[in-house]
Amino acid sequence: DAGITQSPRYKITETGRQVTLMCHQTWSHSYMFWYRQDLGHGLRLIYYSAAADITDKGEVPDGYVVSRSKTENFPLTLESATRSQTSVYFCASSEIRAPNEKLFFGSGTQLSVL
Amino acid sequence: KQEVTQIPAALSVPEGENLVLNCSFTDSAIYNLQWFRQDPGKGLTSLLLIQSSQREQTSGRLNASLDKSSGRSTLYIAASQPGDSATYLCAVRGGPTSGTYKYIFGTGTRLKVLA
């Protein structure tokens, strides 16, 4: 199916473990984004990518690592999970020029760090 | 640094009312502005996108306006329905002058339309 998919949908992990959240889009959009959503903070940008092998930090990048070896995939890794990283994580993609300049979101990954 | 604010944080209205949601941003050098809807436990869905050169966009009962010089956008919902209950977020995208094309989001307005 066309679109942007995130996996897993739910994840429970322990403090100190490494966790990778997956994001896959089928539109070949150049831009991909990772956001976290927390009560009281709204959506905050973690990392974004303008193309394969081009990534840059957002507002809250500490403790996270991204890679983009292929245009369609943009995994987010928590190197050593902490309780403060408990959140809902959203992946999104878009182009710069019409008609695909809208931002499209995945369904999110709810991560709990115990 | 771009900051986006949405007021009010929550709004409750009776069915049938026309309503306005507000979004303000601090840096007027934006590429575009989008309004999104988010239902509980779900991702965000884009409702309207306004280019920096445009003044408004319309889709059905929704109308979004943009005043770049004053750093404001409004989302007008006509004849509200209980199905419109959701959180509405605005996001601005930086452009060539900022050197990036990333989106910055407001914290949203939680709307409840009472039947």
Query: What single letter denotes the amino acid at residue B21?
Result: L
Q: Are A96 and A31 a contacting pair, CB within 8 Å?
A: yes
pLDDT at B99: 60
Kindly report, residue by residue over B7-33, the tens digit of the pLDDT.
999 999 999 999 999 999 998 888 899
**B106 in contact with chain A, both atoms CB, cutoff 8 A:** yes
pLDDT at B29: 87
Interchain contact, A108 vs B43, CB within 8 Å = yes
Average pLDDT over residues A86-108: 89
Q: Percent of chain B having pLDDT more than 90?
A: 76
Residue B102 — pLDDT band, cuts 50, 70, 90?
confident
Residue B61 — pLDDT band, cuts 50, 70, 90?
very high
Kindly report, residue by residue over A73-89, the tens digit of the pLDDT.
999 999 999 999 999 99
Contacts of B43 in chain A (CB under 8 A): 90, 105-108
SS3 assignment, position B30: strand
Residue in A33, A102, A108 closest to B46 by CB: A102
In three state form, how does the secondary structure of chain A look? CCCEEEECCEEEECCCCCEEEEEEECCCCCEEEEEEEECCCEEEEEEEEEECCEEEECCCCCCEEECCCCCCECCEEECCCCHHHCEEEEEEEECCCCCCCCCEECCCEEEEEC
User: What number of residues does chain A have?
Assistant: 114
- Whether the per-residue pLDDT at B98 is higher than 90: the answer is no
Calculate how close chain A gets to B2, using CA atoms only, in Å.
11
- Whether the per-residue pLDDT at A100 is higher than 90: the answer is no
CB atoms under 10 Å from CB of B32, counted, come to 23
Calculate how close chain B gets to A18, using CA atoms only, in Å.
24
Supply B62's token pair. Answer: 């929704």
Residue A63 — pLDDT band, cuts 50, 70, 90?
very high
Q: Are B78 and B64 a contacting pair, CB within 8 Å?
A: no
Contacts of B106 in chain A (CB under 8 A): 42
Calculate how close chain A gets to B53, using CA atoms only, in Å.
14
Interchain contact, B43 vs A107, CB within 8 Å = yes
Q: Which of A31-40, A45-54, A90-99 shows the lowest per-residue confidence on average (mean pLDDT)? A: A90-99
Q: Percent of chain B having pLDDT more than 70?
A: 95
pLDDT at A9: 95
Contacts of B36 in chain A (CB under 8 A): 103
Residue A41 — pLDDT band, cuts 50, 70, 90?
confident
Q: In terms of Cα–Cα distance, which of A104, A105, A103, A95 is closest to A31?
A: A95
Residue B96 — pLDDT band, cuts 50, 70, 90?
low
